[in-house]
Amino acid sequence: MQPEYIRSLELGFQRSDDHTTVQATPYYRHTLNAIRSLRTLDAAGISTRTFANVASTNAYGTDVTVSLSGNKVSGFVSATAFRQVSDAANLSPGLSASTYGWNARTNAMFRLSPTVDLQALVTYVAPMTVEQGRNAARARVSLAIRQKLMNDQMNLTLRIIDPFNSALERNTTIDPAFYQVSERRRVMRGIQVNATWLFGHVKKDENDRIDFNESGG
């Protein structure tokens, strides 16, 4: 397998005021020897997943991010929309794919009171056609609530990971020789309780965000 090489062009636009920042980044990417995951089926009926180089891919789209900094609500919302054309004729004439895709992500914090914060992390990836099949939509949600104590020196945080049991990846392989649906569910659902004690002087911006570092993510 050969290394892939990416040639990209990006333009950035940004507009800001006292509490809001809007960024837009249109881009174009041309990838040579793009690495893709493919499945094969041997004469014994055993399916094998491997990696291979497709000749090239071309993708163009736009990333948009809106950030908000306020007393009651802060965080960001970002979304990406793109078109991708894949030339995989070097492997098989039927593997080339042309598709549209998009995804969105938000990390928002709501100040319920001077000492209580609620934070939500939501990620969504839309279904998309790929070489040799299709990837189903994926979603991920995490919630956290934090109680500040002792003039912000101590924090108690309750974190709920994947409350809707949505961390599922489903892929459909469509090949002239076989049809296969694969599912993978990440073992990450759970509840965590953390207590943090901060010594010394606490800077406000260092103690505002809730850490969403999750095991099994």
Q: What is the pLDDT of residues 14-34, one digit of tens each?
A: 999 989 999 999 999 999 999
126-144 confidence digits (pLDDT tens):
999 999 899 999 999 999 9
Q: Which amino acid is at 77?
A: V
What are the pLDDT digits (tens) for 58-96?
Answer: 999 999 999 999 889 999 999 999 999 999 999 888 889
Across the chain, what does the average pLDDT equal? Answer: 88
Distances, alpha carbon 34 to alpha carbons 1, 24, 104, 174, in Å = 10, 26, 24, 20
Q: What is the mean pLDDT of residues 134-163?
A: 91
What pLDDT score does 216 carry? 44
pTM equals: 0.82
d(CA 88, CA 93) in angstroms, rounded, equals 7
Report helix, strand or coil for 199: coil
Choice among 13-17, 46-50, 52-56 with the minimum mean pLDDT = 46-50
